[in-house]
Amino acid sequence: MSEAQDMRVERINSSEAHPMILNIHYAKRLPSISYAFGIFYGSNLEGVVTYGMPASPFVCSGICGEEYKEKVIELNRLVLRSNKKNEASFLISNSIKLLPKPMIIVSYADSDKNHSGYVYQASNFFFGGTSSERTDIAPEDGKHPRHHLGDKSKRVKRSAKHRYFFIHASKTDRKKILKNLRWKIEEKPPKQGKNFVSEKTINFCEQKRLFL
């Protein structure tokens, strides 16, 4: 059996994802985790992706209003040991299939880390524009900003983020969600990948059932 044939994605306990998140991911800290999935080659865990509540409650209501705020979840960590070709998109796409429906998945590519979000484009996410650079209250621990905790007299930079989202739902629910969508679907992400789903291709994707 080839390595590609042996590659699979399974749900894992969140604690199984902790070592990779803490030791490999640049943030070096644990996010809120509601769902965790691993990519395996045989019995070897080679990467993880996690989903949890967005750090800001305003995101939940801001993307599709109060009606769908409980259905919003953030893809908040993606970690791979080797980052082989197509591994990231395979892990994302197959983990989404294992999530309950309906669900609106948001994720961000940090411009400060030179991330443009190509893996989300390759996984058929919509590009929702780029947030403005801003400042947050300096955190007490000196590590990660919080919107309301820490030293209010000091501010730290929050870099601009490229926003992506994916609608994981039945055809009927997806249409309802799209009608309530408040984020504008942008035509051109910072570095457009060949698989980016633009506004002009939404109807085509619906007809061909390209959305998971």
Radius of gyration of the chain (CA): 17
Distance CA 99, CA 180 (A): 21
Residue in the block written with tokens 């969600």: 177
Q: Domains of the chain: which residue ranges? A: 3-130+163-208
**Tens-digit pLDDT profile for residues 128-154:** 888 766 555 655 655 555 555 556 566
Q: What is the mean pLDDT of residues 52-68?
A: 92
Q: Which top CATH class is 3-130+163-208? A: alpha beta
What does the chain come to in residues? Answer: 212
pTM, 2 dp? 0.77
Q: What is the mean pLDDT of residues 64-83?
A: 94
- Range from 95-104, 125-134, 195-204 carrying the lowest mean pLDDT: 195-204
* Tokens matching residue 162: 């490229």
Q: What is the pLDDT of residue 205?
A: 42
